[in-house]
Amino acid sequence: MENRLCHALGINTPIIHYPMHTMTNGKMVAAISEAGGLGILGINAGYNVTDATTGASSTDSEVIGNPDNYSILDTMTERNLMNEQINTAIENTFRPFGVEVASKEDSPEKDPTAKSIVELMRKRRLTIALFEGFGKPISKPWVDILHSNGIKILQFVVDFNSATLAINNGLDIVIVNQLALAKRIHKKYPDIIICVKGSDDFSKSKKQLNQVDGIYLNTPFAICKEAIIDDSIRNRLLSAQPTDLVTLSLPFGNFLTFKTPYIEKILTQNLSPNELFKELNRYQGLIDGMVKGNLNQGYCLFDLDSYLIKHSISAQEIINKIYPE
C-alpha cells in the first residue's frame, strides 16, 4: 500500500528532516531530499555559508538576528539568504524539499519577514512548508495564506489540544514527539497524516514506520556529513558517553547538551523551562554552541538517545539504514 506521507509530499521515503535553527543550507537539504527523504531549509538557512553570492550571510556582529524575534534575521536578509539556498538546493536535486516559515504572530500581516518567505515560496513554486509557531498551533490566517499559495503545511505540536487546534484550522501533516500521542490523534482524526520522532537507534526507527505515516529525524541529520555543525561539536558528540551529557528541559521539549561548567552553573538555579531558555540566551545560545562551537556561552540540542550515534554518515546512508530499498 502506498505511504500517505510519500503520496502527499511526492517523496520516496517517509522520513522528514527536522531543521535546527541556523543549521541548514541548500546542499545539506538537497542531499536529504536526493536520498529520498524531505529536506527542509530552516530559519536563517545558509547563514554561515561562506560563498553566499549576495553576501547576505556576512556580518561582523556576534549577535545573530533579532533577539526579541527568536534570532530571526531581518526581512531582507532572511529572504535573500533563503533565496540563495533555494537556488543551491535546486542545483543539487530535482526532488521536493521544504521551507520553514516561522512566526509568533497569529496574522501574516503582523509578520513581514515570515510573509515574505511565503511570497518567495510562491514565486519559486515551492509547495511544502514547515510552520514554526514557537509553541503556538498554526492559526487559520496562516493556513489560509499558505493554502492559497498551493503550499502543504507541516507543524510540530506539543500536545493533543495543540494538535486539535491546528488540525481544525486546516493543518495538513502533524508532527509529534511520542507514539502514544500519535495514536490518540489518529483515533480522533483518522484522515490526518501523522509523523512521530524517530529514534537515533535506526532499528527502532524502522519499527516505528510500521505504526505511523512517517518519522522525523533531528540529531542524525544535524551531524551528518553534509551538515554545517561546528566540527568540534560533531566530534565531541560522536565520542560522548551518557555521563558527558545533561538534560535541558525547555519549553519545546527535553534535549541533551554537553555537561560544561557554564551549563552546570545554570542548572543549579532550578529554573522553569521558560526561565532556563531565557538564561541560556534563547536561540543565540544555541547558535553560539552548535554553529560557532563556543560552549563557554552556548549550548547544544541533541536527542535524548543521541549518545548512541558513533559515526557521522551521509544523509543517504542514514535513510538507507532506516528505509532500505
How far, in Å, are 19, 46, 130, 248 from residue 289 at the CA level?
Answer: 16, 17, 24, 14
Residue 16, beta-bridge partner list: 38, 216
Entry pTM:
0.94
Residue 151, C-beta contacts closer than 8 angstroms, at least 6 positions apart: 118, 121, 122, 126, 127, 128, 129
Kindly list the averaged pLDDT for each block of 10 residues, start to end, along the chain of length 325. 90 96 95 98 80 46 79 93 97 97 97 97 98 96 98 96 98 96 96 95 92 96 95 96 97 95 97 96 94 95 95 96 88
- Check residue 48 and give its pLDDT: 66
3-class DSSP assignment, residue 111: coil
**Helical pair 140-148 and 112-123, crossing angle rounded to 10 deg:** 20
Rounded CA-CA distance 102/130 in Å is 8
Rounded CA-CA distance 202/72 in Å is 32
3-class DSSP assignment, residue 141: helix
In the DSSP assignment, the letter for residue 289 is: I
Q: Which residue has the cell 531549509?
A: 41
